[in-house]
Chains A and B, each alone.
Chain A
Amino acid sequence: MYITAASTISHQPTFRNNGFALKLSELKPASEIIEPDYSEFIPAMDRRRMSGVIKMAIACSIDCLKQAGLSQPDGIIVGTSMGCSVHTKNFLDKILAANEGLLSPTSFIVSTHNTIAGQISLLLKNHGYNMTHTQNSLSFEQALLDGILCIQNEYTNVLVGGADEEENSINNIKGRLNDENIHITCGASFFILSDKADSPASLNLAAVESFGLIDDAAKITMNFLDSNNISPEEIDLVLYSNSGNRKTDELKRMFGQKKIFDYQTVSGTYYTNSAFAVHYGADILLEKAHPVFGDKISRVLVYNNLIPENLGLILLDNKIN
């Protein structure tokens, strides 16, 4: 199972910027989304009515397809925790303002979570498999796992992404995470999963798992590594997330202090930011070294424990035969 292309729009200069992970600095407190010129990807008329998350997702999707030299994927799978929350709020506002009056359906029809994957299929005229996973902080992991199942079921190329937009009045992430100090951001990261390592940027997607209502993250992680026949020493870099000032003692004990990195210091916090972490890790694996994390980086674990009861584990390496 291979990742053959990756594309991210975020609060950092990630879009069409290979090697970005070697240069990124810590996110500034008042950061904003860095968007490309969308006119290259979306016709002007469509662009005006699209919310941020749709535009990000479409630009990343098209960028991925171009990198992989594909015109159509066999399937389109999106993980999104909050979906189209800007349009959801718009429509709520309209209900409140209109009382018994007439409402325009514009915001309503694009408020469903699967508008993202649906709009990508409409733009591409893609009739294939189309799925939307929405399990808060594990939405992206479940989308990625779905992509793996597709490839195992004889699909050749699948487009998989994680995307969330910022709408703080109805997305109470701080409340769920019980953490007032987190830096809420947004972003989209898309990937091509393929049965062949047929691009120069190919990486091996070794394993993906999603665990909900967990009681022992360390034990689950050890079992995960065991079942993939890998010891903690063989992991060169752990990109982790957590929240609420939870300790990282256990991670340090398992993997060593120098090998763990809190990816939220560069991505900020949104529920599908593990997709950012996968692209960040992929970027380092392709360079095989990093000025801070050292050289000879050949295996990365994305350890998503953003919500304490949820654990996502994604194992990536650059061992392409």
Chain B
Amino acid sequence: MKIFVTGIGIVSAVGLNIEQNLCSLKSGLTGINKSPVYNLMLAEVKLSNEEIVQLLGLPDEDFSRTTLLSILAAKEAWGKNKIASIVRTGIISSTSVGGLDRIEKYYFESQRDTSSKAYSLMTHDNGRTTERVAAELGISGYIGTISTACSSGANAIMQGARLIEANKLDRVVVGGCDPLALFDIKGFSSLNIYDQNICKPFDDKRMGLNLGEGAGFLVLENEQSLSVTGNTPLCLLSGWDNATDAFHQTASSPNGKGASLAMINALAKANINPEKINYINAHGTGTGNNDLSESIALKTVFGDNTPPFSSTKGFTGHTLAAAGAIEAVYCVQAIQSQAILPNLNFSTPMKETGMVPETIFRSAVPVEHVLSNSFGFGGNCTCLIFSKVR
């Protein structure tokens, strides 16, 4: 069965829609800046919550930033789609923060003042943010949320495809979102994992990651849905897999076992040989551990013939649960524009593998199949493959 991608939407530090993001990728413009508040390099979406509410014409509610960024990107992906009873439509989002940005506000207030608005704490529940996005699009029925740390977005996309394949849904909005929350900023700081400059994925002198925020969403449909919606397919979601590293709660294994398993199984699912992949959007966080482990996994799967690859986290920062979804949208754009996306800030190949990522936006190359990697805490490894519609 074919799974068609028919809509994409994105909000990140390098753009508030798909055109702005592609434009930044072309011009090599990073979204990572020094945050005066945290004295850290962060990739913030340059819109306040109030501005998003105004932009979207939303009512006056106690929105979490997760919900607002999600609605912005999901609405762009959804576009002119309409609810139709004969097209079974669902939504699967993903987040690690959920409504934790609201929790912080009220939790810290309630430490001082026990009479504060405790009811708002209910927004911690990740599912609540997806329900609010569903309501905005008019979707009811299958409304789901995945939370597997930094592979969440990719897993939500995979779940959507699996539900279509199992004939449970005809059309599904899939994606993920995380806002910059104090919880994660302090959390990754406690892991001592930040690059004090813009991150350098796959570079020998890489120092760590930069946190970012954003949301990415896609619309997936089966053939039956297409015949009703009349949507034009942008590409196919042809392969996917999730596997587990089972090495450590936060660190990736030295041999990249989980990552290579996910890639091998996704290639098998797509029924293509490794040499057919034209571009890999790597997880590439810029940490010593991830980039080495991922490089070794790439060698395991592709041998000495690794296709052109890059990490786009030098643009967007590491957007956690949104990363897999934002990067999936970038993969669709790579196929649409027949281009390979650049890796910023690379100069020296790492000693262990000598692998060199693509550093310029290279257009006018045939891009038939694109592979996207996402890895998260708990050893969670997910690989998606997007293919050009023939």
| Residues of A near any B CB (own CB < 8 A) | 76, 81-83, 85, 88, 91-92, 95-96, 102-105, 108-115, 117-119, 121-122, 124-136, 138-139, 142, 145-146, 149, 152-153, 169-173, 175-176, 210-215, 271, 309
Q: Is B257 located at the chain interface by the 8 A CB criterion?
A: yes
Q: Given that A133-B144, A142-B144, A213-B134 are contacting pairs, would A125 and B380 also be in contact in the complex, using a CB cutoff of 8 Å?
A: no
In the assembled complex, the CB of A244 is this many whole angstroms from the nearest CB of chain B, namely 14
* B131 contacts chain A at the CB level, 8 A cutoff: yes
Q: Within 8 Å CB of A122, what residues of B? A: 246-249, 378-379
B163 within 8 A of A: yes
**Residue B187 at the A interface, CB < 8 A?**
yes
Please pick, from A91, A113, A149, the residue contacting B96 in the complex, using a CB distance under 8 A: A113
A127 and B246 contact, CB distance less than 8 A:
yes
Q: Which residues of B contact A214 (CB under 8 A)?
A: 140
Complex Cα spacing A213 to B100, Å: 22
Q: Are A210 and B142 in contact (CB-based, < 8 A)?
A: yes
Question: Nearest CB to that of A167 among chain B residues?
Answer: B124
Known A91-B183, A130-B148, A131-B148; further 7 A-B contacts with Cβ < 8 A: A112-B149, A114-B148, A134-B145, A176-B122, A210-B144, A213-B135, A309-B131
A118 and B187 within 8 A (CB): no
Decide: A103 near B118, CB < 8 A? Known: A129-B242, A171-B124, A309-B131.
no
Contact B378 A121 (CB under 8 A): yes
Scoring B107, B144, B146 by chain A CB atoms within 10 A of each residue's CB, the highest score goes to B144
Q: Given A95-B182, A105-B187, A212-B142, A125 and B243 touching (CB < 8 A)? A: no
Query: Which of under 10, 10 to 19, 20 to 34, or 35 or more describes the interface residues of B?
Result: 35 or more
Q: Collect the chain B residues with CB atoms within 8 Å of residue A85's CB.
A: 124
Are B147 and A114 in contact (CB-based, < 8 A)? yes
Q: Is B159 an interface residue (CB 8 A)?
A: yes
Among B127, B183, B376, which residue has its beta carbon within 8 angstroms of that of A81? B127
Selected from B130, B131, B134, B186, the residue in CB contact (under 8 A) with A103 is B186
A117–B378 CB distance below 8 A:
yes
Query: When chains A and B are docked, how far (Å) is the Cα of A214 from the Cα of B141?
Result: 7
Distance in angstroms from B157 CB to nearest chain A CB is 13
**Chain A interface SS verdict (over half):** mixed
B interface secondary structure, majority: helix
**Are the CB atoms of A138 and B148 closer together than 8 Å?**
no
Chain B residues positioned under 8 Å from A136 (CB to CB): 125, 127-128
Residues on B with beta carbons closer than 8 Å to the beta carbon of A215: 140
Cα-based distance from A281 to B155 in the complex (angstroms)? 31
Near A by CB (< 8 A), chain B positions 246-283 give: 246-250, 257-258, 261
CB distance from A60 to the nearest CB of B (A): 18
- What is the CB-to-nearest-CB distance from B83 to chain A, in angstroms, rounded to a whole number? 12
Cα-based distance from A126 to B134 in the complex (angstroms): 34
Question: In the complex the two chains form, is B162's CB within 8 Å of A149's CB?
Answer: yes
- Contact yes or no, B103 A108, CB < 8 A: no
- A173 vs B118: C-alpha distance when bound (angstroms): 11
Contacts of B147 in A (CB 8 A): 83, 112-114, 132-134
Residues of chain B with a CB closer than 8 A to A169's CB:
107, 110, 121
Which residues of A are found within 8 Å of B98, using beta-carbon distances?
Answer: 134
Instruction: Tell me if B78 counts as interface (CB < 8 A to partner A).
Output: no
B111 at the interface (CB under 8 A from A): yes
Report the minimum CB–CB distance from A146 to chain B (whole Å). Answer: 7
Closest partner residue, chain A, to B162 (CB atom): A149
